[in-house]
Amino acid sequence: MSEIKGIHYPAFTRDDLQIIDQHTVFQGFFRINQYRIKHKLFAGGWSETFSREMFERGHAVVVLPYCVKTDSLVLVEQFRLGAAATSASPWLLEAVAGMIAEGEGFEEVARREAQEEAGLNLGRLWPMLSYLSSPGGTTERIHLYLGELTGEVSTGVFGLPEEHEDIKVHVVSRKDALALLHNGKIDNAATLIALQWLELHLAQVRAAWES
């Protein structure tokens, strides 16, 4: 990576961080680990030893199904407890998403979740980007993909009952999805980032997928 003036990207090594102790303080649907650490300082030397709790929920794949021909995409609607405190409704419009199981590849997860959550068999997959969802409190990394819609979409309710999923499928135009974003109706990070990525790279996607 090229350097920007005043910002450096040194290669990280494990010698820059010392994990003195690590143990699980909570294990339920998710896990919380407590760490005692110290790390190198910008001014030189080492920080004091301090404690941090980290939310260990694993890593996830998010896929935004998109049809170039109709300029439309699929969003799913489902209940999210975490939205109840600050959102107008805890039923959110989202891109398809799922956790990565041990040994699974990213594209494998994208295709599995598209089938489970929306009944979709996707064509080509386009890696968008990956990002850390909230590195101050969780180790989770999100991997975003654009998924090619090649067939008819059956709107209805999908999901796995054993995972308490109750997922409604919507087909919306790209322009309507952007309007929902601009009006604050879509405010979850992965979907917001995926829609913005598509807007920035729309010409490139159309050139590749219209052929």
Active-site residue set: 163
Q: How far is CA 33 from the centre of its chain?
A: 21
Q: What is the 3-state secondary structure (H, E, C) of 187-198?
A: CCHHHHHHHHHH
The neighbouring-strand residues paired with 64 are 146
What is the pairing mode between strands 50-56 and 72-79?
Answer: unpaired
Q: Which two tokens stand for residue 149?
A: 């819609």
The neighbouring-strand residues paired with 96 are 63
Helix%, strand%, coil% for the chain, nearest 5: 25, 40, 35
Whether 61 contacts 98, CB under 8 Å: yes
Contacts of residue 2, Cβ cutoff 8 Å, sequence gap at least 6: none
Q: Which two tokens stand for residue 33?
A: 């680990």
Distance CA 76, CA 168 (A): 6
Whether 69 contacts 47, CB under 8 Å: no
Three-state DSSP at 157 gives strand
